[in-house]
Amino acid sequence: MIADGVELHPLEVWHAVEFAAHLERAREQIRPWVGPTFVTDTVDGARATLRRYADASAADGARMYGIWDGESLVGGVMFVTFDAAWGICEVGCWLEPGAEGRGVVTRSGAALLDWAFVTRGMVRAKWHCRTDNDRSIAIAHRLGMHSDGVLRSSWVYDGRRYDKQVFSLLHTEWPGSDAGR
């Protein structure tokens, strides 16, 4: 349980219809901030996105989790990358407008970080976002992440180039890990 009535569950291929409906509600809110192949316009596109992550998860790689408010998918968190051999992962998130302001993304991100550091023994978690994405930057800070710097002109959206901020957190800094206690 992430919050009152809000739970975090793996997003699987069989969720394609709900995922597509959710993306329709969230599309304009999240499109500037996520990769172009993520925000699909069809159930088949949603199914293909979920299939990519299911295949990656089966290979102990990237994973996606839905944030469910009751029966409705309202957002999600993910391991954009997950490399157990190197002990490095990247966490990302998205949320539809009606679910904002309740702290569910921060708590969901913390759940992913706790699993990565405590259960899986990851050493470093990353967070990437555009430098003008104030909400994403605030979440990275609330998760205790530190700025590693800016990758200039490294994000393209709608024909324009943007800078990308990189944050990270080490297992020794995570309160739930042995080293962070």
Measured distance CA(94)–CA(77) in Å, rounded:
7
pTM for this entry: 0.93
The encoded tokens of residue 107 equal 């708590």
Predicted confidence (pLDDT) per residue in 31-76, tens digit: 888 877 778 889 999 999 999 999 999 999 999 999 999 999 999 9
- Domain range enclosing 125: 6-173
Does the residue 116 lie in any domain?
A: yes
Q: Over the stretch 70-106, which tens digit does the pLDDT of each residue have? A: 999 999 999 999 999 999 999 999 999 889 889 999 9
What CATH number does residue 50 fall under? 3.40.630.30
* Residue 65, domain member (yes or no): yes
pLDDT in tens, 120-171: 999 999 999 999 999 999 999 999 999 999 999 999 999 999 999 999 999 9
What domain count does the chain have? 1
Report if residue 180 sits inside a domain: no
